[in-house]
Amino acid sequence: MNVFNRVVTALLLLALLAVAMLLAVVPVQAIQTVQRGLTNFSSFLTYAQETYYWPFIAGRILLAILAVVLFGWLLWREFRRRKPKAVRLLTESGSKATVTTESVEKRLAWHIDQLADVISVTPVVSAAGKGVNVVISLETRPEIDVPMKTDEVVSVVREVITERMGLQLGKVQVHIKHAPYQEEA
101-114 tens-digit pLDDT: 888 999 999 999 99
Please give the residue range of the domain that contains residue 90: 86-178
Q: What is the pLDDT of residue 185?
A: 57
User: Same structural domain for residues 105 and 122?
Assistant: yes
Q: Does some domain include residue 64?
A: yes
- In terms of domains, do 57 and 16 share one? yes
Low-confidence ranges of the chain (pLDDT < 50): none
The answer to whether residue 146 sits within a structural domain is yes
Q: How far is CA 61 from CA 16, 38, 64, 164, in A?
A: 29, 22, 5, 59
Is 0.75 topped by the overall pTM? no
Same domain, 75 and 154: no
Q: Which of 79, 106, 133 is the last residue of a domain?
A: 79
Helix (H), strand (E) at residue 158: helix 146-158
What is the distance between the alpha carbons of residues 104 and 98, in angstroms, rounded to a whole number? 11
Is 183 part of any domain?
no
**So what's the pLDDT on residue 80?**
81
| Among candidate residues 79, 102, 137, the one where a domain is terminated | 79
